[in-house]
Amino acid sequence: MCEIDRFIEEKIEQGYFPGCVILVGNKNKNVFHSAYGNSEITPTKRIMKKDSIFDVASITKPIATSVSILTLINSGLMRLEDCASSILTELKGTVNEGVTIFELLTHSSFIPSWYPLYIHSDCEEEIIQFIGNMREEKSAYSCLDYILLGKIVERITGETLKDFTVKNIFKPMGMKDTGFCPAQRLKKRLVATEEGNRHEKELSEKYGENSEVPWRERTIVGEVHDGNSFYCFKGISGNAGLFSTASDLAIFARCVLQGGDKVLKPEIVQYLMEQSVSVDGERRSLGFLIGGDDFSELSQKTVWHTGFTGSALWIDPVKEIFIVFLSNAVHPEVRPNILKPIRQQIINHCLNVAM
């Protein structure tokens, strides 16, 4: 057993997550790929495998939504400086009428970070208008920004975000297990998340009456964990809903390190890798965070994103290396930010097996 194996087994025993899959690679090949623990522990016990399929939560934002928007921009169908209201007409006359595509992509719109939209409405038009009238005094990382971006993709293309991404991004890139709303035939490979939606149910109570929401009580497998994506948009949303494997995310990361290809165009890769804004010391590209305090070993040019369910992706163009870490840290119950204290250790152990 090598050092990283001992570290991960220790973290499983300590209760950080029931299981995980780690894949580390470079521009040319995968150098480490291993599965640990269990993909489900209740109501049944299932072993984690290297091809297990995860709800990657907010990694949906850069991989599916940002790339879709940037693909449309690269095709000349919209511009970064366009107002979202020119596409989502429900925003006209709202306080966010002037918010641009660029501001949504970079979380600099001043739209709040989160709201349980399902307690307001399940009508798309009403939801968009509702978001249009929500505004904070300062910018924040916002799921609502990316919900709007997902709807912009659908309005421009006339397709669901699910269909557009599979046809134009995932399938042509060879990411065969990546997409929204995975088929039930894949259930044995799907990783469990929370047992019910208790965490979000409690979180939403301070926003209004939520007793009419058809809360899930079962262990969630193969359905998006995120409440807004599930209850409002049937699992297809710009903020969350993507399912993927470590191998598929490695295909994406390697393409980024190689500077792009005929699908993920070099211009799109440049947008994903270069800093566009800095808000409260947080640097962002058009989809990813850049650098940060966790990176004692990765370069400050590393782009990265995490997901609430326990997922993370780091791509370092200086060291020419990427790390995919996928876990079920919200199974069977949510412990917010449980992985944050060990994130740097995860990175360092991954680098030790790769360098």
pLDDT attached to residue 185: 92
pLDDT attached to residue 296: 77
Q: Is residue 223 part of a domain?
A: no
pLDDT tens digits, 260-305: 999 999 999 999 999 999 988 899 999 999 998 767 789 999 999 9
Please tell me the total count of domains within the chain.
1
| Nearest by Cα to 50 from 24, 15, 85 | 24
CATH number at residue 21: 3.40.710.10
pLDDT tens digits, 59-95: 999 999 999 999 999 999 999 999 999 999 999 999 9
pLDDT tens digits, 193-215: 999 999 999 999 999 999 999 99
Q: Is residue 159 part of a domain?
A: no
Residue ranges, the chain, pLDDT below 50: none
Stretch (H or E) spanning 314: strand 311-316
Q: What is this structure's pTM? A: 0.97
Torsion angle defined by CA atoms of residues 156, 162, 167 and 172, in that order, rounded to the nearest 10 degrees: 120
Q: Is residue 70 part of a domain?
A: no
Q: Contact at 8 Å (CB) between 178 and 170?
A: yes
pLDDT attached to residue 1: 59
Q: Is residue 342 part of a domain?
A: yes
pLDDT attached to residue 279: 85
Q: Is residue 206 part of a domain?
A: no
- β-bridge partners, 46: 40
**Domain range holding 322?**
3-54+172-196+244-354
Q: Is residue 122 part of a domain?
A: no
Q: Is residue 259 part of a domain?
A: yes
Amino acid letter for position 129: Q
- β-bridge partners, 180: 242
